[in-house]
Structure 1
Amino acid sequence: MLAAPGGRRGLTICGVPVEVVTRLSRGARVLLVVACVAAEGPALLLDPVVGAPWWGRAAMVGLLAVQAGGMWFLARAPVRAAAVVITAGAGIQLLYPVVGPGITLVALCTVAWLCRPRWSLWVLAGTGMLAALVWLLGRSPTEALLWAAGALLAWSWGELGRTRSARRRAETRRAVLEERARIARELHDVLAHTVSVMVVQAGAAADVFDVSPERARAAVGAIESSGRNAQAELRRFLRTVRPDPGMDDEPQPGLADLTALAASVTRAGLPVALDVDVHTDVQAGVALSAYRIVQEALTNTLRHAHATRAQVAVRLLEGELLVDVHDDGRGMPGRSAAGQGLVGMRERAELLGGRLRTGPDPDGGFRVSARLPLQEPA
């Protein structure tokens, strides 16, 4: 049965809104009507119906038409439409008990698939009352029990379909949100550092433009170099989001690229002392996360800390990769709050099963410290 996710609003019963968690497509509604006609139409050929007076046959045709119409409107007003179908089914049972439940169980299953149990259970109760009517009409208790068992089975089948559909929608939404967070984190890491360096270099060029044209020209050259690096990083990132089969993937930055990163920050006016003491291979994902954490920490220092120097240490400690970035700046109020950069660093560490600590250092300045497992989680 075809369906589209999402609910329809505006459905109420006694002033209480009915939440429809799944919407039937037009093709599915046509299929329900066809199924109703195919299931109930042959009843017109049964002997009790053929031998009935004309008004009995007309009533049978009218009740079948009402049931078909109720099946069409199940998507718009499921509980009310199901009540119409069940009532018409009860009328058919009163006139011709031999006909059986017909399309009533299909309507119950569809309502259970469309609505949450707080509403579909009312339809199940109505179907149970119809089973009791079968017993009151003089049929055997076994037939009444079969009616009730069939109703419970139909409801359970519809509820199972609704639960599975809801789980699939939740998984899809979670995957979309995770991918959005990943793209936002990568874009921030790719652009924030380079743009910050360009802003600092542009400010330096403006300060010395009249006094020292050569220094201003060097700063402009550094801005151009940073812009080209940003373009390369952005192209590399876009290839990870939308791969091009005709082009090989460029390697992601890792521990070996920390030297160039420290040099770019130093040229921007913040001397960086780099100490990388890693003598074993580190998985690409772990190395990329370590690089991005250092990049973001230095970017924050360059933009906010008013520091005169920074120290970066990367080494192995107790089976983990320890990344430590410390500056001598005074920081700023609220710097430890959950900004985009700090959120991104923390997410990177937690995705690897690691942890991140940020905040003022007791000896002065600001410290970012991350411990990353050497093996990426499965």
Structure 2
Amino acid sequence: MDEDRVRERGGPARWRRHGPPWAGHPQDAEPGSRWPWRSTLLLTVLVLVGSDFAAHQQQGERAALDPFARVLLLVAAALLLWRRRHPVPVVFGTAAAAALYLGAGYPYGPVFLTVAVACFAAVVAGHRRAAWTALGMLWAVHLLVAHWLYRWLPPSGDRPASFGQEIVVATWAVVIVAVAELARTRREQWARERAERAQAARRRADEERLRIARELHDVLAHSLSVINVQAGVGLALLDSDPEQARTALTTIKSASKEALGEVRQVLNTLRTPGDAPRAPAPGLDRLPELVEQAARAGLTVEVTGEPPRLPPGTDLAAFRIVQEALTNVVRHSGSRRARVHLDRAGGTLRLRIDDDGPATHADAGGGGNGLAGMRERAAALGGTIEAGPRDDGGFRVLAVLPAGTGEEQP
């Protein structure tokens, strides 16, 4: 088995670098987690003071606190300082200190609180098996000491513990595990919610980037196509027909000015969120402008049907689809005539753009992002796009878009 497989299975190759999985690593802690100084200091004081109080209450029944007992209490409490970075060694260390404390016959007291806190931290960090094992070992030690080894261990004259006390200890352990599991579940739920919110934010950002890319493509492709055609006309007629060349240059100036305005409008969407748009989005009410621009590029466009009232999103998509289809006719078709038909039936708008061809090269309908952008626009609204050559040699783009109730303003 090669090292990559061993690493994937968490085997020896990984253990050599980080130690076995039951040892716990600093990586298990949350990134940026801080040392819990304050809570550990507070627990240490509570354990030491509480143990003195418990020794006073159980005087004559349990062994008195001596320096060794205080060292055990201090070690058990101080280990909690590493409970976030090394939860597994800490839970076993506190359990061992508590077992020694219990076996030496010292008074019952808050030493078990250190085990509870360590178990809680281990379960929350995902080391449930280690926490349960440590609790089980401590309980087993308690059973041995309380019902068998008490004859040979201090304090002298001790008697076996009642089984009612064992039920209390078992209940205490179950409560610790239950609370820790609840905290772990809640923590995982918060982590999932944070991940889902981050994913949703990334998805919204991706959708916004795609929307802006489509807008820029549609604006620039149409305007630059007009500019390219008119530049060719101007160069061809510069010497033979200066007046016609002047007309072509005027068209280039107008098209470039309009393109700059639309690009500026698209880029304005990247301003501070919450700002209102400075200009309305284009819609089918600007269809005559498209016809005029196409005419400047030498394309005659015949429009049938009246532009209906549409929701803003549908109105913009319909305008961009017609714009892109006419741009493709100018760039990729040998025909100088195109037909745009608008038909609204109920809640559906049908847009049909035809040209008579023939195609000037293989990419008859546009081989770039134009058709893909049209399909994305239609799909985002729940509509469809069909585009392809006709049997008579022309090309057709058919868009079916939801048109709403007809009461929306464009």
- Is the Cα–Cα contact under 8 Å of residues 226 and 294 in structure 2 kept in the other structure? yes
Shift in Å, 1:226: 0.7
Q: 2:48 aligns with which of 38, 44, 67?
A: 44
Preserved CA contact (<8 Å) 2:120 2:177: no
Asked if the contact 1:128–1:151 (Cα under 8 Å) also holds between the matched residues in 2, the reply is no
Offset, 1:350: 1.7
SS of match in other structure, 1:250: coil
- Aligned position for 2:194: 165
Matches within 5 A, 1:197-276: 197-242=226-271, 249-276=278-305
**CA shift for structure 1 position 351:** 1.8
- Change in CA separation of 1:365 and 1:92 when aligned onto 2, cut-off 3 Å: farther
| Equivalent residue number for residue 375 of structure 2 | 346
Relative to 1, partners in 2 of residues 1:321 and 1:25: Cα closer, same or farther, differing over 3 Å? same
Other structure's SS at 1:103 match: helix
Q: Please give the alpha-carbon distance, in whole angstroms, between the structure 2 residues aligned to 1:22 and 1:319.
A: 56
1:242 is displaced (CA, Å) by 1.9
- Say if 1:135 and 1:143, in contact at 8 Å, map to a contact too: no
Q: CA–CA distance in 1 between the matches of 2:44 and 2:201?
A: 39
1:359: which partner in 2? 388
1:4 is aligned to none
CA shift at 1:216, angstroms? 1.6
Equivalent residue number for residue 71 of structure 2: 58
Partner of 2:355: 327
In structure 2, relative to structure 1, the CA distance for the partners of 1:94 and 1:236 (3 Å cut) is same
Counterpart for residue 87 of structure 1:
92
Question: What amino acid does structure 2 have at the position aligned with 1:364?
Answer: G
Instruction: Give the fraction of aligned pairs with identical amino acids, expressed as a percent.
Output: 32
State the Cα RMSD in Å.
3.3
Letter in 1 for 2:347: G
Alpha carbons 1:186, 1:237 under 8 Å: kept: yes
1:283 and 2:287 correspond:
no
1:258: how far off? 0.8
> Per-residue displacement from partner, 1:163-210 (whole Å, max 9, x unpaired)?
222211211111111111112122222222112211221122122222
1:324, CA displacement in angstroms? 1.0
Contact persistence 2:338–2:354 (CA under 8 A): yes
CA pair 309-23 structure 1, distance change in 2 beyond 3 A = farther
Using structure 2 for the length normalisation, give the TM-score.
0.74
Moved more, 261-270 or 54-63: 54-63
> Partner amino acid for 2:137?
L
SS in 2 for 1:364: coil
Q: CA deviation at 1:132?
A: 1.6
Which deviates more from structure 2 when the two are superposed, residues 309-318 or residues 239-248?
239-248
The answer (yes or no) to whether the contact 1:276–1:315 under 8 Å persists in 2 is: yes
Q: Is the 8 A contact 1:270 1:310 kept in 2?
A: yes
Q: How far apart in 1 are the matches of 2:239 and 2:245?
A: 8
Question: Corresponding residue for 2:118?
Answer: 104
Post-superposition shift, 1:273? Answer: 1.7
Counterparts of 1:246 and 1:152, CA distance in 2? 46
Instruction: Please list, as runs of the form range in 1=range in 2, the aligned pairs for 1:82-161 lying within 5 A after superposition.
Output: 82-96=87-101, 98=109, 99-100=112-113, 101-108=115-122, 110-111=124-125, 120=126, 123-136=127-140, 137-138=142-143, 139=166, 140-161=169-190
Q: Give the counterpart letter for 2:39 in structure 1.
A: A
Taking structure 1 as the reference length, the TM-score comes to 0.79
Equivalent pair of 1:189/1:292 in contact (CA under 8 Å): yes
Matches of 1:303 and 1:21 in 2, distance apart?
59
The structural deviation recorded for 1:335 is 5.7
Tell me the alpha carbon deviations over residues 209-265 of structure 1, each in whole angstroms, 9 at most, x when there is no partner: 222222222111111111110121122223333269998731221112111112101
Query: 3-state SS of the aligned residue for 2:282?
Result: coil
CA distance change for structure 1 residues 22 and 124 in 2, over 3 Å: closer, same or farther?
closer
1:68 matched to 2:91? The reply is no
Indicate how the Cα distance of structure 1 residues 83 and 305 shifts in structure 2: closer, same or farther if over 3 A, else same.
farther
Distance 1:23 1:188, change over 3 A: farther
Shift in Å, 1:21:
12
Residues 61-102 of structure 1, C-alpha deviation per residue, up to 9 Å, x if partnerless? 34444431342x3xxxxxxx2223322332343244642334
Counterparts of 1:10-25 in structure 2, within 5 Å, are: 13-14=10-11, 15=13, 24=30
State the structure with more CA Rg.
2
- Is 1:60–1:92's contact at 8 Å kept on the other side of the alignment? yes
1:141 positional shift: 2.5
Aligned residues: 345
**Counterpart Cα distance in 2 of 1:21 and 1:251:** 53
The answer on whether the counterparts of 2:76 and 2:94 sit within 8 Å (CA) in structure 1 is yes
Q: Distance in 1 between matches of 2:274 and 2:187?
A: 43
Residues in 1 aligned to 2:280 and 2:372: alpha-carbon distance in whole angstroms: 25
Gaps of 5+ in 2: 1-6, 56-63, 103-108, 144-165, 406-410
What is the CA-CA distance between 1:154 and the residue it aligns to? 2.8
Asked if structure 1 preserves the Cα contact closer than 8 Å seen for 2:303 and 2:340, the reply is yes
